[in-house]
């Protein structure tokens, strides 16, 4: 028990970069990883590529190349297809405008383009949705969504759900959710990882670890506003033992 408490105190009081160095040293000493690999799945690609900054995406691509001696983009192309593949490749390029500039005239024009590419025609021009949603800054996208609501009397989310299906639908909805409120997006992912029977532990661990140094306070506040309970209380009700203690230590901050 003393050993477990020590591990929690060491890992949870460190930055993510420091934790990765500890994990690497652990593997050298004991021949195994502290946390096993998560594998590849579409929902994980969507989460990572829709929610990270351009710099973070560039660092992910660089690390992926170093680890696997091939590019993340090439593996995306090899493992996915169609418009979902095109969306992921666009996001993987890390070329989103990250300013806070808003052009209201262009927002109206883009909203009309989306309407004409989707609900107003037979079939859907997926490339139009990709071009607009994968490149504009989040302030501009929120203006586009507002204009779309005015034009159609319903949300862009409702249009995407009606016009798309499967992975491309999930990817576009994630872009919209992150553009509207990134901490709320992660709050929902955390809730989904714990709701119902069982816990999706890898999802819970990944989200807590990757957000604890960036926007965890905002994630916690959004979680409580959305679900009328605290993130800590839900973790306490769903997890146990040292696992629970470690997660709560990360959620509360990097001092133990």
Residue 22 has pLDDT above 50, yes or no: no
pLDDT digits (tens, 9 = 90+) for 82-103: 999 999 999 999 999 999 999 9
* Same domain as 174, residue 115: yes
Token readout for 153 is: 């009397």
Residue 255 has pLDDT above 80, yes or no: no
* Same domain as 87, residue 66: yes
What is the pTM assigned to this prediction?
0.84
pLDDT at 14 (0 to 100): 57
Residue 27 has pLDDT above 70, yes or no: no
Count of domains forming the chain: 3
* Same domain as 146, residue 172: yes
* Same domain as 51, residue 8: yes
* Same domain as 29, residue 111: no
Cβ–Cβ under 8 Å, residues 148 and 155: yes
* Same domain as 6, residue 74: yes
* Same domain as 112, residue 172: yes
User: 159: alpha, beta or left, given left = phi > 0 and alpha = psi -120 to 50?
Assistant: alpha
Q: Which of 95, 112, 139 is the last residue of a domain?
A: 95
* Same domain as 80, residue 15: yes
Collect all residues with Cβ–Cβ distance below 8 Å to 95 and sequence separation of at least 6: 54, 135
* Same domain as 245, residue 169: no
Q: What is the mean pLDDT of the chain?
A: 85
Domain span at residue 233 reads: 182-255
* Same domain as 3, residue 70: yes
* Same domain as 56, residue 33: yes
* Same domain as 69, residue 27: yes
What's the rounded mean pLDDT across residues 140-161?
98
The domain that holds 241 is classified in CATH as: 1.10.220.10
**Other C-beta atoms lying within 10 Å of the C-beta of residue 88:** 26
Between 28 and 54, name the one with better pLDDT: 54
Neighbour-count burial for 125-141, b at 16+ CB within 10 Å, e otherwise: bbebbbbbbbebbbbbb
């Amino acid at each position: 028990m003393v050993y477990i408490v020590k591990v929690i105190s060491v890992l949870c009081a460190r930055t993510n970069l420091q934790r990765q160095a500890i994990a690497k040293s652990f593997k050298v000493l004991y021949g195994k990883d502290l946390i096993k690999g998560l594998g590849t799945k579409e929902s994980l690609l969507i989460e990572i590529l829709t929610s990270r900054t351009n710099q973070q995406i560039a660092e992910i691509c660089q690390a992926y190349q170093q680890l696997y001696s091939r590019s993340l983009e090439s593996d995306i192309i090899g493992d996915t297809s169609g418009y979902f593949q095109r969306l992921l490749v666009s996001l993987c390029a890390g070329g989103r405008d990250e300013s806070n500039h808003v052009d209201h005239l262009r927002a109206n024009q883009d909203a009309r383009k989306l309407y004409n590419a989707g609900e107003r025609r037979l079939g859907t021009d997926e490339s139009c949705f990709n071009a607009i949603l994968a490149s504009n800054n989040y302030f501009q996208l929120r203006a586009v969504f507002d204009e779309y609501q005015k034009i159609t009397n319903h949300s862009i989310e409702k249009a995407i759900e009606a016009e798309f299906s499967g992975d491309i639908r999930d990817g576009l909805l994630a872009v919209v959710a992150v553009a509207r409120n990134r901490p709320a997006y992660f709050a929902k992912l955390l809730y989904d990882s714990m709701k119902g029977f069982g816990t999706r532990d890898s999802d819970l661990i990944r989200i807590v670890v990757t957000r604890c140094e960036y926007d965890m306070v905002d994630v916690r506040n959004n979680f409580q506003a959305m679900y009328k309970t605290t993130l800590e209380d839900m973790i306490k009700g769903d997890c146990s033992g040292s696992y629970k203690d470690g997660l709560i230590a990360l959620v509360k901050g990097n001092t133990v």
